[in-house]
Amino acid sequence: MKITAIKTFMGVFGSRPRGLLKVETDEGIYGWGETYSIGPDLSIEPIADYIAKMIIGEDPRRIEYIMMKINQQYRFPPGGVGLAVSSAVDHALWDISGKAAGLPVYQLLGGTVRDRVRVYQGIGGADGKQVAESGQALNEKFGFTAFKTGPFQLDMNTNRWGRVCAAAADYFEDIRKHCPDNWEFAFDPHAKIFEPVRALQLANALAPFDPYFYEEPLRPEHTPAWAKLRAQMQIPLATGECLYTRFEFLDLMAAQAADIIQPDVCVCGGLLEMRKIAAIAEAHYVSVMPHNPMGPIATAVNVHFAASTPNFEILEYIVPGAEWRSWVDDPYMPKDGYLELRDRPGLGIDVNEEALVPGPLSEADKAKLPHWQRTCPVLPDGSTGYI
């Protein structure tokens, strides 16, 4: 079996375009992958074309060899955009390999260590009652008992930090007042805090109400700051969505700088790389809760990862809207707060190509895509802040 082509597509999930890849072979077996919208989204196609020139003619089942070849032929570290595209290629190669073998991908990874995959979803509200109402709706329909929300109830850039922390504590206390005691709530400051001591102050404010975890309060670049913060905290510290490859995660875990890691299978290098990251984490007694605010292909890849990974704990998930279902006929949907495993070859899903916009994109096609751009805030003094 040989790779014959890589095709790019743009799908729309929510208000954001999503880049999808289809890897085709000379035996008619194909595989699908999903990229993360690190941006610019229109960079996906030329990078995929560049990768295609490296791997057309290769056996798609030689995943380790192909991913090594891609990374070595980049020569310089590919960064987020390059890794997002090569991650999608990795997904497609696993999909092809499972289909060729007539097995689910999790069987190629050593089989299952669990029967289903627990998920959580991000929710919000102006107060604890509104959060409870959102959570109750998801619980009644899909069985969710774990959620994530943001801690900031006051503008952190225009209010005294002590007031920001106190308001976050009041918010969490109100959530606990209105929600069942067995529900888990995690908090994500979204890497907006610059000073580690302020991240600690916010963690201490939330701690009395038992957060599930405290996600990425700081930027990820300086590992010693994370190690010091974790040593002072009394609640689980999580990070990893902005880290790439096993080498960056090794530095984090060797410094004992996180209790939970959150690699993203659409940006860390793919499923093969995420398995290596998880193995390093297991040796450091660190749990894996993948970052996954993504579409149905990414969720499918994560299901197979979670099914076969001992130190996996829970998966981030977004209940799909109508547009999701238009381009995947049978996405993984939660039941009783879990995603059920499927005994289907490959990733267990297929894509409706007619619902996607294929590349290369014309100017008219580009104009039809929703405009989505990360925009940093402007602070009261005119400087910019973290998103």
Enumerate the active-site residues.
Answer: 190, 291
Q: Which of 244, 266, 243, 368 is nearest to 20 (CA)?
A: 266
Please state whether beta strands 3-13 and 287-288 pair in parallel, antiparallel, or not at all (unpaired).
unpaired
Per DSSP, which regions of the chain are E strands? 3-13, 16-25, 30-34, 116-122, 146-149, 184-187, 214-215, 237-239, 260-261, 287-288, 315-316, 334-335, 338-340, 357-358
**Alpha-carbon span 331 to 21, nearest angstrom:** 17
- Which tokens belong to 255? 């410094």
Most distant CA pair in the chain: distance in Å?
A: 64
Termini Cα distance of the chain = 45
Please say whether the beta carbons of 128 and 176 come within 8 A: yes
Coil/strand/helix, residue 174 = helix
**Alpha-carbon span 5 to 332, nearest angstrom:** 27
Q: Which of 351, 363, 379 is nearest to 8 (CA)?
A: 351
Please say whether the beta carbons of 169 and 235 come within 8 A: no
Q: Which of 138, 149, 183, 184 is nearest to 319 (CA)?
A: 138
**Alpha-carbon span 125 to 199, nearest angstrom:** 22
Q: Tell me, what amino acid is at 264?
A: D
What angle is formed at CA 305 by the lines to CA 303 and CA 310, rounded to 5 degrees? 115
